[in-house]
Amino acid sequence: MPEQEKDNECEAEKEVGDARVGYQAAVTLWAYEGNTFWSKFYAMLVANSIVIGSVALSNTVQNPSCVFVVGMPIFGIVLCILWLQLSERSLCNYDYWILAAREIEERFLSGSVDFVRRGGDYTKGKKVKLQVSDPDRQEMRMNWLGRRPRVRIAAYAVIGLFTAVYIAMLVVAVC
């Protein structure tokens, strides 16, 4: 084998090795971003629940502070805007890491690794084949209920619901 071919072969092996490291990093960051999203989401859910609970509790006393009854719903709306921004940033990062892993998989690891590509097909409701010993689990397809609603839409619906409650509280307090 000529020296040039050996160098090209070594370079190709190094590139695939580097791609495997990059792929592992992208998949790890993908999982991390998913966990981070849910941690932020639950923290904001609790914070908003506390704000709503405090306004509701203040309405049980005679002559509640007008600043509190009006100010807390405004604070809640600001909190929802922050929640929306945090969620969108996390979900954009999440999408990026999925696509980065898929890019590495398709460019450098095709034929040996197709985890992300098959996952994309699976979430779209396409059948995917798995090489497992259980014959009943060798072909899978996500059902329609699992595909709907998307996480982003469901998260925004929850944030929108809290925002609507704050606007209703503000309208009641002002009127």
What angle, 0 to 180 degrees and rounded to 10, lies between the N-to-C axes of helices 66-108 and 151-174? Answer: 170
Q: How many CB atoms lie within 10 A of CB 169?
A: 22
In a domain, 138, yes or no: no
| Residue 82, in any domain of the structure | yes
Asked whether residue 70 is domain-assigned, the answer is yes
- What does pTM read for this prediction? 0.82
What are 19's two structure tokens? 């791609």
Residue 159 lies in a domain: yes
User: Do the domain assignments include residue 60?
Assistant: yes
Which one-letter DSSP state was computed for residue 45?
H
Alpha helices (runs of H) in the chain, residue ranges in sequence order: 3-58, 66-108, 115-123, 144-147, 151-174
Residue 160 in any domain: the answer is yes
Instruction: Determine, yes or no, domain membership for 145.
Output: no
Number of domains in the chain: 1
- Report the C-alpha gap between 125 and 144 in whole angstroms: 7
Q: Do 105 and 23 meet the contact criterion of CB atoms below 8 Å apart?
A: yes
Q: Is 58 exposed, middle or buried (0-12, 13-18, 19+ CB in 10 A)?
A: middle
One digit per residue, the tens of pLDDT, for the chain of length 175 reads 566 666 566 776 777 778 888 889 989 999 999 999 999 999 999 999 999 999 888 888 888 888 888 999 999 999 999 999 999 999 999 999 999 999 999 988 887 788 888 888 998 899 998 888 888 888 989 998 888 778 999 999 999 999 999 999 999 988 7
The range of the structural domain enclosing residue 27 comes to 3-109+151-174
